[in-house]
Amino acid sequence: TTTTTTTTHSSTGVYSDPAVLEVEYSSCVPMIEGDFENGMNSVKGKSFEDSKMEIAKQITQANCLTSKQIKRMMMAFDFEDSKLEYAIFAHKYCYDPNNYWQVNDAFEFESSIDDLSEAIGR
């Protein structure tokens, strides 16, 4: 019997969510929680939706985020259109796209769920 344990590392620490570790992408390491919280604080600290979007996209593009983290980032936006724009953008940077259904809870309108599904091809 052989047992294999997988641990992923980022530049600032070890990511240890065992549910996420089941999925392996060679070029994608999920952003560790402390770094994600710093990023969230930066996004939340901006007054304008455009500024929030720019920072959120920069953070997302430089890292892989879990579906839960993407949902949390969506909650920083005030407008449904912004949440949808970000969700569409973030999908290609998602560490666990099989769990992307979780982001649906961030929307107020069910039509946004339909628009997201159409945009990401689901």
Query: Angle at the Cα of 117 (from 114 to 118), degrees rounded to 5?
Result: 85
Task: State pTM to two decimals.
Answer: 0.77
Average pLDDT over residues 70-88: 97
pLDDT in tens, 33-73: 999 999 999 999 999 999 999 999 999 999 999 999 999 99
Question: Which residue would you say has higher pLDDT here, 18 or 82?
Answer: 82
pLDDT confidence band for 23 (50 / 70 / 90): very low
Task: State residue 20's pLDDT score.
Answer: 41
Q: Which residues pair with 14 in a beta bridge?
A: 9
